[in-house]
Amino acid sequence: MISFIQSLPKHFMTALRNLGRHMAMTLSSASAVAVTLTLMTLFLVLAANMNSFADHVETNLKIHASIDSLQQRDEIEHMEKLIKGISGVKAVEFSSKEDELNILIEESGSVFERYKERNPMPNVFIVEVEKATDIPQITKTLNNMEGIEKAQYGGESIQDMIDTFEAIRYGGAAFILALGVLAIFLITNTIKMTIYTRQTEISIMRNVGAGNWYIKTPFMFEGMLIGIIGALIPVILTIFGYGFLYDFFGGQFMSSMFVMQKPYPFTLQIAGVLFLSGAVVGIIGSFLAATKYLRWRR
């Protein structure tokens, strides 16, 4: 084991020389890997931002429970305690009818200022939940509570949007896995061709007693380096391209509900994933090729 570890620098230099000797093949394979990892980058960025969108929507998703106008102050305080005791409720905030009218005027314009003397708005409880999936059940509980006129939230449209985000995330993960398999296939074929061109050299190594791993290791380094080289273009596109898009959209997509991931450290994390993915698929691809085409017993 010690001698094998000591030989790793030599194998690494051998891999570098072999990549240089077969530059056209190296660039061809690295380009194919770059295209694959670029597609992977798009889905990683999309999935991460969908996750951010969903988290932001879930965080800001609250139930508005209108209070019966006949309820007195002490009854409202008692109701607030009861709501806080409901399983899944994170926080409860009381908003007076005056506060609600001011919010309406701020959001919809001064046309509603005429209602200040005869305010039609109800007092409300703004209920924040721990998990978005609990909202329908908590809303139902509030609607059955004495003193609550009506409890409502975004309804099915919000839930459908969250479900869509989830579907995109899972679909993106499956597609990324498929792209990883494709990258392994590309590198495997490249290493196969390299092995074919070096059959004489490999035969000599076998004849002088070289071990199985001694022959495989340079190929695995080659695959790793091809994967890392292939990751360079996607990494550059991610760091500069995503930063440009973030500035262009002002950090949010279409509305303040869809807040984008901040470029840093997000792009650096994606870059790390790409380099690691390139290296891993390169090692796996080259290992599979070398194992299949150098299968022998000493």
- Least confident residue range of 35-44, 72-81, 200-209: 200-209
pLDDT mean over 22-45: 84
Arithmetic mean of pLDDT, 80-90: 92
Token output for 33: 């890997």
Alpha-carbon gap, residue 147 to 153, rounded angstroms: 18
Instruction: Please name which of 273, 242, 228, 293 lies closest in space to residue 33, comparing C-alpha atoms.
Output: 228
The reported pLDDT for the residue numbered 66 is 94
Q: For residue 294, what is the DSSP state?
A: T
pLDDT score of 298 more than 50? no
Share of the chain above pLDDT 90, in %: 25
Burial 188-215 (b: 16+ CB within 10 A, else e): bebbbebbeebeeebeeebeeeeeeebb
Q: Please provide the CATH number assigned to the domain covering 61-152.
A: 3.30.70.3040
Q: What is the pLDDT of residues 219-258, one digit of tens each?
A: 889 889 988 999 999 999 999 999 999 898 888 776 666 7
- For the chain, domain boundaries: 1-59+155-297, 61-152
128-182 confidence digits (pLDDT tens): 888 777 888 999 999 999 999 999 886 666 667 777 777 877 887 788 888 878 8
Q: Does the pLDDT at position 116 exceed 50?
A: yes
How many beta carbons lie within 10 A of that of residue 249, not counting itself? 12
Q: Out of 79-83, 180-184, 270-274, pick the least confident.
A: 180-184
**What does the radius of gyration of the chain's CA atoms come to, in whole angstroms?**
30
> Is residue 45 scored above 50 in pLDDT?
yes
pTM: 0.67
Residue 79: predicted pLDDT: 94
- Rounded to whole angstroms, how far apart are CA atoms 122 and 243? 45
